[in-house]
Structure 1
Amino acid sequence: MRLRIAPSPTGILHLGNLYSVLANVLFSHKYNSKLILRIEDTDIQRNKINAIENIYEDLNKIRVNIDESSKNPGLYGPYKQTERIHIYKFYIKKLLKMGGCFFCKCSFKRVNILKKINLLLGDPPTYDGKCLNRNYLTGKIRLKVPKTGICVGDYKINWSNVDMQVLWANSKPTYHFANVIDDQLMKISHVLRGRDWLTSFPKHILINSFLGFNMPKYYHIPLICNKTESKLSKRLDNMGIDSFLSLGIISEAILRYLISLIVCVDVSNISEASSYFNINKLKQQNIHINGKKLILINKMCLHEVVHDVNNVIKSLIREGCFNNVMELCVKKSLILHDTYKLLCFVFWDYKSIKMIFMSNIEYLLLNLLLIEYKKLIIWSKISIQNIHKKITNYLGLKTRTFCTILTPIIGNRHSISLYDVYLIIGQKVVITRISLILEKIYNKLHQHI
């Protein structure tokens, strides 16, 4: 048996992604299956720099062992979709020849307006088939969907409610087409993915059927959701491993918590969890994060790593930065106590954040920074300084006031320089911290309304 995890390098691996990854890991461990890592990177405009490397790092942090990938290739590569375009070209031509798809010249604008109108009328947001029988030889390529009948499977639906999905546009495949081709050619036997893909399942059934493929066995597993009463911020629903680490949640706790959610039993490792794992007995309803339980598991894990403090500190700092961090702290220290006091930016405590002003200008500044930081492609001292200069000029702030407002991001005034901290903890963690601070300011300001 062969399974795959197929992240896209358009963002971080958040808790929902990791839950799905670990469900695949448990299945693989229980049935001695091969686990393949495929990078679905055809959405080039949205791909993030270093995102692929970050995926590997995050999987390592929760000790996920991959059998085949770009770093450990097997017989069925390449393992990046951008390196497989020639394969997709062959199969899209085959699908056209078999009459399973057609060329469409409708603009995306027209189709989007059409779908919005359909929704307002209470109809499914589907393409109307305007170009279905025009016999065009160029344009986007759409899937041909039956007009009558019912798609029977995990998700019963009238074919008339299934969209004629775009399979090829701008000289490259869309997710739906490339995904099916890759699963077939990489000999994937079982697909475990989130329930949010259920509505796309009929399209994948059609593509497999048109091309005469043997379909993998699909399982659609629950999604991780937030309760409205949860303490996790709405801004932070998609928090990744680095963000949790920066809040003092160690990677071992994240692993244990997620695998316990999957098997509904408190377990300490993958091996133990796999003995309880049953794909047919997974919860049917979506899963909500229980922050208190995560903290309790973290407490237990901390007892186990207390004798390995340096490695814990290393896990909170970007890979390879530990020695540099200690050198920066020692340079500003007179006694040993000073060195660890300067590490306050590592042991950042959301609860103990003390805002200086709690004002609207502070709230505006941090919101502007958050927007600019998220847009930043290269996280460097110069690029960060340019953002700061632009915003201080725009708001007419003095440098001292600006730096004072930013102090809570790095812990307190007793730290190494702001820019050193930014580069050490990384872009994702800085964004997470600002999001938490903004929520705190927002709540404080609205207490007085």
Structure 2
Amino acid sequence: MRLRIAPSPTGILHLGNLYSAITNVLFSYKYDSKLILRIEDTDTQRNKTNAIEDIYRDLDKIKINIDESSKNPGLYGPYKQSERIHVYKFYIKKLLKMGGCFFCKCSFKRVNILKKINLLLGDPPTYDGKCLNRNYLTGKIRLKVPRAGICVGDYKINWSNVDMQVLWINSKPTYHFANVIDDQLMKISHVLRGRDWLTSNPKHILINLFLGFNVPKYYHIPLICNKTESKLSKRLDNMGIDSFLSLGIISETILRYLISLVVGVDTPNISEASSNFNIKNLKQQNIHINGKKLLLINKICLYEVVQDVNNIIKNLIGKGCFDDVMALCVKKSLILHDIYKLLCFVFWDYKSIKMVFMSNIEYLLLDLLLIEYKKLIIWSKLNLQNIHKKLTNYLGLNLRTFCTILTPIIGSRHSISLYDVYLIIGQKVIITRVSLILEKLYHKTNQNI
């Protein structure tokens, strides 16, 4: 048996991605299957710089072992979709020749309006097939879906309610086409993915059937949601490993907590958890993060690793930065206690941060900073200085006030320099910290109304 983890390098691996990865790991461990890491990077406009390396690094941090990937290739590569365009071209031509898809010249604006009207009328939001029999030779390519009968599978639905999905546009495949082709050619036998893909399952089954492929066994696992049952938010819930590490949650805890979500009981490692794992026993309802349980597991894991303080610091800031950080601290220290004070940016605690002004200008500056930080492609001192200079001029702030507002981000005014901290802990952690401070400011302001 062969399974796959297929993240897109469009952002961080958040808890939802990692939960899906752990489920695949447990399945592959229990049934002695191969686990493949495939990078779905065809969406070049949304791909983030260094995101692929971050994916490898984050999986390594929580000790997820991959059998095949670009870094450890097997017989079925390449493992990046951007390197497989020639493969997709062959199969989209084959699908056209077999009559499984058609060219469409309808604008997305027309289709979106059509779908909104359908929803208002109580009908499924599907394309109306206007171009189905026009025999166009160019345009985007849509899946040809039967208008009668029922798709039989885990998700039974009338074919008339299934959308004629776009499979090819701008000389590239969409996710729905590329992942089906890759799963087949990489010999993927079992696909374990989030329940949000359940409605897409009929389309993927249909593509497989048109091309004469063996349909993989699909399992749709629960989603990790916030308390309102919506997907994880981009500001707070959608946090990656670095963000949790910056809040004092160690990597061993993240793995152990995710395992507990899958198997239902606290289990220290993958090997022991696999004996309790049964794909058919996974919860049907979505999963909510239990902060208290996360902290209790963290307490257990801390006891096991706290003997090596240097390793804890290295995990928080990165092993490559450790010597440089210590050098910066020693340079500003006279006694040992000074080093501890200067390391406050490592042991950052958002619960204890205190805002100085509690004013609208403070909230506005941090909100604007968050927007600019997220847009920044190259995280460098010069680019950060340019952003800060632009915003101080825009808001009419002096340098002293600006630095005071930013102090909570690095923990204390006793820390090493602002820009050293920014470069050491990185863009994702700074964004998380600003998000948490804004959330605290927002709730504090509302309490005072």
| TM superposition shift of 1:170 | 0.3
Q: Which moved more, 1:310-319 or 1:143-152?
A: 310-319
Distance 1:429 1:119 in 2: 40
| TM superposition shift of 1:306 | 1.2
Q: Deviations over 1:337-362 (max 9, x none)?
A: 11121000000001110100111100
1:100 counterpart residue number: 100
Determine if contact 1:104/1:141 at 8 Å carries over to the other structure: yes
SS at match of 2:235: helix
Amino acid aligned to 1:108: F
Distance 1:196 1:226 in 2: 15
Determine if contact 2:127/2:164 at 8 Å carries over to the other structure: yes
1:282 counterpart residue number: 282
| TM superposition shift of 1:234 | 7.6
Alpha-carbon spacing, 1:229–1:119, altered in 2? closer, same or farther (3 Å): closer
1:77 counterpart residue number: 77
Q: Deviations over 1:267-293 (max 9, x none)?
A: 000000001001111111111110000
1:401 counterpart residue number: 401
| TM superposition shift of 1:318 | 3.4
Distance 2:2 2:179 in 1: 15
Determine if contact 2:176/2:204 at 8 Å carries over to the other structure: yes
Distance 2:286 2:219 in 1: 14
2:422 counterpart residue number: 422
Amino acid aligned to 1:11: G
Distance 2:314 2:114 in 1: 53
| TM superposition shift of 1:233 | 8.1
SS at match of 2:254: helix
| TM superposition shift of 1:121 | 2.0
Distance 1:334 1:121 in 2: 74
SS at match of 1:13: coil
Amino acid aligned to 1:335: I
Does 2:92 align with 1:67?
no
Amino acid aligned to 1:389: K
SS at match of 1:36: strand
2:245 counterpart residue number: 245
1:169 counterpart residue number: 169
2:132 counterpart residue number: 132
Distance 1:116 1:431 in 2: 35
1:91 counterpart residue number: 91
Amino acid aligned to 2:88: Y
1:361 counterpart residue number: 361
2:440 counterpart residue number: 440
Amino acid aligned to 1:417: S
Amino acid aligned to 2:9: P
Distance 1:59 1:367 in 2: 31
2:6 counterpart residue number: 6
SS at match of 2:220: strand
Q: Deviations over 1:340-390 (max 9, x none)?
A: 210000000011101001111000000000001011111111111111111
Distance 2:325 2:114 in 1: 56
Q: Which moved more, 1:332-341 or 1:44-53?
A: 332-341
Distance 2:229 2:124 in 1: 32
SS at match of 1:321: helix
Does 2:154 align with 1:154?
yes
| TM superposition shift of 1:229 | 11
Structure 2 length-normalised TM: 0.98
Structure 1 residue runs of 4 or more that deviate by more than 3 Å after TM superposition: none
Distance 1:51 1:190 in 2: 26
Determine if contact 2:14/2:239 at 8 Å carries over to the other structure: yes
Distance 1:401 1:111 in 2: 51
Distance 1:177 1:273 in 2: 34
Does 2:339 align with 1:339?
yes
Amino acid aligned to 2:238: N
Please give the residue correspondences for 1:313-352 in structure 2 after superposition, counting only pairs within 5 Å: 313-352=313-352
Amino acid aligned to 2:216: P
1:188 counterpart residue number: 188
Aligned residues: 448
Amino acid aligned to 1:279: I
Distance 1:78 1:229 in 2: 37
Aligned-residue CA RMSD (Å): 1.3
Q: Deviations over 1:123-176 (max 9, x none)?
A: 211111110000000000000001111111111111111110000000000000
Does 2:379 align with 1:413?
no
1:260 counterpart residue number: 260
1:388 counterpart residue number: 388
SS at match of 1:44: coil
| TM superposition shift of 1:319 | 4.5
Distance 1:142 1:347 in 2: 52
Determine if contact 1:6/1:40 at 8 Å carries over to the other structure: yes
Distance 2:220 2:152 in 1: 15
2:203 counterpart residue number: 203
Alpha-carbon spacing, 1:233–1:410, altered in 2? closer, same or farther (3 Å): farther
Distance 2:143 2:289 in 1: 37
1:123 counterpart residue number: 123
Amino acid aligned to 1:177: F
Determine if contact 2:229/2:286 at 8 Å carries over to the other structure: no
SS at match of 2:117: helix
Determine if contact 1:318/1:426 at 8 Å carries over to the other structure: no
1:236 counterpart residue number: 236
Distance 2:327 2:126 in 1: 60
Amino acid aligned to 1:384: L
Determine if contact 1:233/1:439 at 8 Å carries over to the other structure: no
Distance 1:57 1:47 in 2: 17
Q: Deviations over 1:288-335 (max 9, x none)?
A: 110000000000000000111111111111351111111111111111
SS at match of 1:167: strand
| TM superposition shift of 1:235 | 2.6
Amino acid aligned to 2:369: L
Q: Deviations over 1:212-250 (max 9, x none)?
A: 0001111101111122599x9883111111000000000
| TM superposition shift of 1:120 | 2.0
SS at match of 2:344: helix
Percent of aligned pairs sharing the same letter: 88
